[in-house]
Chains A and B, each alone.
Chain A
Amino acid sequence: MYQPMLFVHWKQVRLLLIPFVVAAFGLPLLAVQGLGADATGGVSAEVYQIVAGYQLWLPLFPMLALAIGIVLALTAWNWDHRLGHVYALSLPVARWEYALLKMGAGIALGLVPTLAFWIGAHVAAASVTLPAGLNAYPNHLALRFFLAMLMAYAFFFALGAGTVKTTVWVVTGIFAALVASEVLGDVLVLYFSGLEGLSFLELATDWLVERGGPFEVFTGNWTLIDV
């Protein structure tokens, strides 16, 4: 049952995956562009500082992982929604089993751009001569890329599994709660001095992207070359 699922999803997404695979392979190379070895065998001082300080390409890594996750998740449910779930209902499997098989197929397809990213990161790391003190982390970065893509995929897959109405309610509810808590916080602080300096929006953000929150993997260190 898994193979047909994988095949159907592959047919849905293969054309869309092509630009992502190219981007995943190329981004690490762009990140080290111009960091070739100089005459003394190491990277020049200026380039060193660029690596340390700016790293302009790095925010694109998590964004690419997010985009791939979203595309895989939406294409996973696309044909179900379009055909009114007739195909799924005709299969001799339970709903939960069907959803898990579908999810597994998407994760397997996510390995394709991850593999391209991993190869690109290794090629990029091999193309520069790093002096003592700096190291390349292609494996760690590729794993982080996969985890971020997996997280985005799972989140949007869960949303896509429900109705459009449910999805709209969930997303609206999250935004409304954030805005309301922030406004409410400003009012509450007038009456409870203990709340001075507490920002609910910041707490929520803190919980979502740090301290083990679901989007923690998107933050943190995405550098290919670091100390």
Chain B
Amino acid sequence: MSRPRFVRVALVVVALLVGAATLGVSDTVSQQPAPRPTEAELLRRIEALGPQLEEARIAAEAAERHRELEAEARPRRATEVVHVGPMHIVTLPEQSELAAQLFGDVWRNDFDGVVGSPALAEHVFVFQWAWRRVEPLRVDAAATGSSPVQHIHLTRAWARTRGVAKARIRDAVWAVLRSDLPEGSHLGRWIGSTGYPSTQRVARLFTTSPSDDNRACLAGVTDGCVAALGLSTGEMSVPPEAAAIVLLEAVRMGGSGAWARLLEARDAAPLDALAHAAGVDADAVMAGWLAAVLAERPEMHAGLGGQAGRVLLWVLALAAFATRSTRWRLA
């Protein structure tokens, strides 16, 4: 390397080293921690925020009142009342047919047999499925009277399909039904505050749980099922929704008047109440529940037979496409 070039390279290296050292020093200086405030200082700062917090709260309340007044002042939209089973549904006229279909499906598939629920007869469901985000449907007192109102306000962004809409309706109906069983009652405490139960989920968790009670129940021992459901020990070894499934199954078994009988016995021990509602003994209730859960057990094999055949048909169709390619002509 010639001397001037060597000098230039050396200067560049020195400049880089000096730069790096300077950066390192400035980093070290900037990373020195600020002195930590004392506890008294922190408390003083927090207290100083009090007036601002109060101002913000008052402003939020005023804004909320303003929104409510605006909504009140807006003209109410015309509504219609639809009746499905014991349920009263208030909805927009253009959605009355849709509401009747959705509530009807839910009623037939999930709550058929729940006749005589005071809560269900008393409540009014306000249903709206909006295309975009809008103010919730406001209903005149004339339409609802003094009845408690259960709002089901859906928007297409969050509930795109009828399946989702029905799931929301199902949850709302179950929430109302559950209010027939207050938490103060034995039955209400046992049911707890779970949502509408998914029998498939319960089936999977129940059958894959290592609990001895569950294993005994699966083997058909009634005491095992009673223990698994927490009806003897109070400790459940199955998901909490299992209790709701037993209850609905008992009502199904009891047929007409089963819900009323269940409410009569809601302060009795849960197992007695279920047997009373179903009109059969506890063993039969447990057997019915086990059968219902096992019937919903997910398909555990790899989908042989039909699925394999369908795959082969698709493969043949795709092979036919491959043989019809125009590649050679184009090439």
| Given known A100-B323, A147-B311, A227-B298, contact A217–B303 (CB-CB < 8 A) | yes
In chain A, residues 82-121, which have Cβ atoms closer than 8 Å to a Cβ of chain B? Answer: 84-85, 88-89, 95-96, 99-100, 103
Given B129, B160, B299, B323, which contacts A96 in the complex, CB threshold below 8 Å?
B323
Report yes or no: A199 in contact with B161, Cβ–Cβ below 8 A: yes
Residues of B within 8 A of A143 (CB): 302, 304, 308
Given B160, B298, B302, B307, which contacts A137 in the complex, CB threshold below 8 Å?
B302
Interface core residue of B207, B215, B302 (most chain A CB under 10 Å)? B302
In the assembled complex, how far is the CB of residue A115 from the closest CB belonging to chain B, in whole angstroms?
17
In chain B, residues 242-276, which have Cβ atoms closer than 8 Å to a Cβ of chain A? Answer: none
B310 within 8 A of A: yes
Report yes or no: B327 in contact with A154, Cβ–Cβ below 8 A: no
B26 within 8 A of A: no
Per-residue CB contact flags for chain B residues 193-217 toward chain A (1 = under 8 Å, else 0) read 0000000000111011110001100
Interface size on A, residues (CB 8 A): 58
Interface range for B: 35 or more
Stretch of B37-45, B58-66, B74-82, B314-322 contacting A (4+ beta carbons < 8 Å)? B314-322
Given A89, A190, A199, which contacts B328 in the complex, CB threshold below 8 Å?
A89
B94 within 8 A of A: yes
Report yes or no: A221 in contact with B322, Cβ–Cβ below 8 A: no
Given B319, B325, B326, which contacts A154 in the complex, CB threshold below 8 Å?
B319
How far is it, in angstroms, between the C-alpha of A132 and the C-alpha of B95 when the chains are bound?
Answer: 51
How far is it, in angstroms, between the C-alpha of A222 and the C-alpha of B325 when the chains are bound?
Answer: 34
Least CB separation from B313: chain A residue: A212
| Given known A52-B208, A133-B218, A196-B129, contact A95–B318 (CB-CB < 8 A) | no
Per-residue CB contact flags for chain B residues 151-180 toward chain A (1 = under 8 Å, else 0) read 000001001111001000000000000000
Which B residues contact A (CB, under 8 angstroms)? 94-95, 97-98, 129, 131, 156, 159-162, 165, 203-205, 207-210, 214-215, 218, 297-304, 307-308, 310-311, 314-315, 318-319, 321-328, 330-331
Which A residues contact B (CB, under 8 angstroms)? 42-45, 48-49, 51-53, 84-85, 88-89, 95-96, 99-100, 103, 131-135, 137, 140-141, 143-144, 147, 150-151, 154-155, 157-158, 161-163, 166, 186, 189-190, 193, 196-199, 202, 212, 214, 216-217, 220-223, 226-227
